[in-house]
Structure 1
Amino acid sequence: MKSAEISTNWGRIAAFFLGYLGLFVLAVPALLLALFQRQAGSLDWPPPAAVAGHGPEWAVADGQFVDAARLLGAAGPVVDARAVVPGAEAAAAAVNPDGSLAAAAVGAGDLGAALAANYRVSTQGPDGHVTTLDGMQGRLMAEPGRALIVLGMDKGTAAARADSVAALSHVADVAPRVASPAQRAAALGFVGFWAALQLFLFPRAARWAGLRAART
């Protein structure tokens, strides 16, 4: 009489890790979320810019620029400048090691005039080129709802700093499409449901994969 032997079912183990964990738990929800973002808009991008139609570098959250260093092309510390820019919803300034500086603001009021006054602009050309009472040169960009100034001790320094200022880039003229709060809530609800489902399915799938086949 032959005795029964218990063998490990490697096929089930492979199916558990590759099929259940790899495909069902990870790949399927990732694919569904990617398709959802394609239709609804990005779920993980910062909020759209405070002024509609501007690039993502102008994005504001809780009264602060989301990425002020990129916005200003800062090589030095960035500080909150709302106290010196009346009417600004968000304002930031940076002084760089090369002596150049940059400041930006979004909000209500004449922000261009506020930045010009704060940095003592004495003359301004039709192309936005400015000089200050301190002898600095640079560029002032002012539009309804936003303003930006870049200054250097000479025109070359100011131009070099302007090249690194994301706010002066025209590559992205439109803010990325971002999912609405309701769409974000729907995506979060899907993730929560999927995680709860795994609490029910995972122990059963693991038990199934751990069953050993009997052979005689």
Structure 2
Amino acid sequence: MSNNTSNKIRSTGELIEFLADASISPEVAALRPDYRALLIAVDGITPAPSDAHSEQLLRNAEEVARTRLGKCAVTDFPHIAAWREAYHGFGAKPSRTRNSAEALMRRAEKGLPRINRLTDIYNSLSVTYEIPFGGEDLNAYVSAPQLVRATGAENFATMDKGEPVTEHPEPGEVVWLDANGVTCRRWNWRQCTRTALHDDTTAALFILDALEPVDDVELRAEDDD
């Protein structure tokens, strides 16, 4: 599926076809045989700023985080610990580049950012379920997402000191990409600017990442929410 530059909303069949073309490379599967990804593609979203509903979800998530963090350190949460181990597995330092669920959980104790309704909702779910949950602009994708171990030659569009720059992942790093380059580095650490959600996003791709001890029932529960 190429960029959708028209205002036409994709059919359910087109969304299913796009998701069916997504893949996880054998090298990633060998690194973490317990890894599962749940991908959700949605079109026809009505863009909106943060509102009362998303505010309440964030407040609830913040309270959940404070309660859990009052009982043990975030690094002792079973799923967070599994992700830290996974980061070690491909050579990343999990205390320097944290998985997205851990990063949000740490921020939640003092207060989560308010960005827009769509981002606020998935951030609240990520904290509540302790699962890395990414959201991207589906219209920016030029092909289905692939999860691979990088060669190091792939391009990653990001910002540095307010200026657009192109970086490259480390060889062996786990990355999501499409035909135009890396969309997310270090599995779920940092998204590229090209596919980032914006206030006017009308089509989105959501990626939920799970390792043991999270089972398929728990992963699907977040999908239902």
Give the number of the structure whose alpha-carbon radius of gyration is greater: 1
Taking structure 2 as the reference length, what is the TM-score of the superposition? 0.24
Between 1 and 2, higher relative CO (CA 8 Å, sep ≥ 6) is seen in: 2
TM-score, scaled relative to structure 1: 0.24
When you count helix as a share of all residues, which structure comes out higher?
Answer: 1
